[in-house]
Structure 1
Amino acid sequence: MTFCADASRDQAESLAGTAATARTWLLLEQPGPWGAKALTQSRLDPALGRFLESAPESGVRAALIRRPGRDARLGGARRVLLAHTPPGRAWVRTALIDDPEELRALDLAALAAGDHGGFGEPHPGGPVALVCTNGRRDRCCAMLGRPLAAELAAAGHDVWETTHIGGHRFSPTLLTLPHGYAWGRMSAATARHVLAELGEGRTVVDGCRGRSCWPRPAQAAELAVRRYGADPHADALEVVDVVDTAGDDTVGTAGEPRPGRWRVTVARLDGRQHWEATVAEKATLPASPASCGAAALPQSRMEVLAVRPLLPASAD
């Protein structure tokens, strides 16, 4: 059997623009085993799981978390993390709840817009690290993710195992909060470096898949601007415009979708500088599986064709 992470690594598949998209994350502590569709295939009430599965319709992405190790305790209070990720407006809130059903009272649309409604308390300390470890969903996540989570925990980082943050073939994968940056193919040393830099307010481009609050083309564009030499501060840049330049003719004569193309404007958060990036969707070849056991298919990738600085807007 070919492991998806090996196939992706062997062909040096690009990581940029592959992060799961979510402006707000809702994370519920759920010890014990997780199924492939963990929200409805765990010891969590399936009806509540279906409610959480619908959260993306409001702009919120939900996942289950647990501390590294095999602690299968049930009962008692559960930790909940809420995180909003756009630059300049990012936050993490945390609370202990006695009954997961309390989550039904959350206003998901408000959370997606960045209004936590006073839920919980501000999360103290440095970045929160989430490592995908759900082996029922993908073998690579278990084989590669669990050791990484354990090493980060042993090093004293605030780390949780999580059910799914997208991109099995980039295992081990790491998502950090509050910024929502995702990384792939992490070693323990590289992950520790990423977390140390984030603790100082800086992000790391190498191995980064993108910031989850942006769509995929914008993720790739922002990383390309950072490579261009922009400020390394994690909240230095924002995406201010994404224009689909493929037009309406996005379907070929055979009925197959044509690759996309975008013009993305990235700016410093203070507005002092803008960049324009041209991004094209291409296929990664040779074909490879998106996850273990899946058919080998061409995988979509975001390629930044050009980055150019724009003249700063003139002051009135």
Structure 2
Amino acid sequence: MHATAPTCSALSAQLAEPLPGTAAPAAAWLCLEQPGPWGREGLTDSHLDPELGRELTRRTEGTGVRVQLIRRPGRHADTEPAAPREVLLAHTGPGAGWLRRSSTRKPGELLDLDFSRIAAGEHDGWGYADADPRLLVCTNGRRDRCCALLARPLLDELGDDDRVWESTHTGGHRFAPAGVLLPSGYAYGRLDADTAIRALDGAADRTVELTGCRGRSSWPAGGQAAELAVRERTGERGIDALRVRATGPERFTVEHTDGRRWRVSVREHRLEPPRPNSCGKDPALPEAVSVTAVTA
């Protein structure tokens, strides 16, 4: 008999792959409720009109807006095609972030959005303001089995919490259960129920939960790691307290709203030994970011 190969998430955890600097960069998130099953490519492989999915992908490409399908946790029976669907729209910019909510019976209406303006922080009055944070948990098992096998028990533990949505691929199967908080854009890996609740409750109080935090999607990988390093060093938890600015290759300045600043050097490198970044893929060397210096 052949031993069952470890999953990508089990290998990542066993090899202590670092989480900081692994969030999928995105200035804004557009989340459309789509009941029923999801295939590997949710936008074009679900019961959403695939032409609409392709056009949403085309129009948001290069804008900094990331499009997700979402659904309520639990059974995924289809609804009538014309049934109203929830839509969440979030901008992640520190000090300028927002979460808007609406519903639609015609998802094609989303093509009327100006994605460049959304990425720049302008919602132009779309929908209505939503003060409650939302946690998107990836459960797209057709993309990677870890996302279903590990996220579903987490969702069962979280129970009937209307702040939590299932989501298509949020990036980082090997960190499953993986989630993203909106509107801040902080991503999390190896989530458990206690951490998820602390992250949601903290976000409501405008603070960051650092356990399992992969970084804020507002920043590139190096900037994510730089910000988290400053938070660990200073104990700063305010969601909007820090700004990150690239000052050179692998160099960042992290600025506090009170005027303090830190120079952070990072090193982007690949990790040994090779391991699959996703279940079923060939082994590869994943990219990682290490912070090498923090100076005030």
Q: Which category describes the TM-score, using the shorter chain as reference length?
A: over 0.9
Measured in 1, the distance between the counterparts of 2:64 and 2:176 equals: 25
Counterpart of 1:130 in structure 2: which amino acid?
Answer: L
**Match of residue 254, structure 2, among 266, 273, 290:** 266
Q: What are the residue-to-residue correspondences of 1:1-316 with 2, within 5 Å?
A: 1-54=5-58, 55-75=60-80, 76-124=83-131, 126-154=132-160, 156-244=161-249, 262-270=250-258, 272-309=259-296
Normalising by structure 1, what TM-score? 0.89
- Residue range with higher mean Cα deviation, 68-77 or 158-167: 68-77
Counterpart of 1:295 in structure 2: which amino acid?
Answer: D
Output one character per residue of 1:66-112: Cα deviation in whole Å (capped at 9) or x when no partner: 00011323231111000000110010000011110101101111111
Deviation at 1:279, TM superposition (A): 0.7
Q: Does the C-alpha gap of structure 1 residues 127 and 153 become closer, same or farther in structure 2, counting only changes over 3 Å?
A: farther
Deviation at 1:197, TM superposition (A): 1.8
Measured in 2, the distance between the counterparts of 1:149 and 1:122 equals: 26
Task: Give 5+ residue unaligned stretches, structure 2.
Answer: none
- For the residue of structure 1 that corresponds to 2:43, the secondary structure is coil
Measured in 1, the distance between the counterparts of 2:292 and 2:98 equals: 33
Task: Give 5+ residue unaligned stretches, structure 1.
Answer: 245-261, 310-316
Deviation at 1:116, TM superposition (A): 0.7
Count of equivalent residues: 289
- 1:254 aligns with none
Output one character per residue of 1:264-293: Cα deviation in whole Å (capped at 9) or x when no partner: 0010134x1110100111111111110000
Measured in 2, the distance between the counterparts of 1:242 and 1:263 equals: 5
Counterpart of 1:99 in structure 2: which amino acid?
Answer: K
Deviation at 1:206, TM superposition (A): 2.2
Measured in 1, the distance between the counterparts of 2:157 and 2:130 equals: 22
Deviation at 1:157, TM superposition (A): 4.8
Counterpart of 1:210 in structure 2: which amino acid?
Answer: G
- For the residue of structure 1 that corresponds to 2:278, the secondary structure is coil
Q: Does the C-alpha gap of structure 1 residues 41 and 242 become closer, same or farther in structure 2, counting only changes over 3 Å?
A: farther
- For the residue of structure 1 that corresponds to 2:66, the secondary structure is strand
- For the residue of structure 2 that corresponds to 1:93, the secondary structure is strand
Measured in 1, the distance between the counterparts of 2:98 and 2:275 equals: 37
Measured in 2, the distance between the counterparts of 1:119 and 1:268 equals: 31
Give yes or no for contact 1:146–1:161 (8 Å, CA) kept in 2. Answer: no
- Residue range with higher mean Cα deviation, 12-21 or 50-59: 50-59
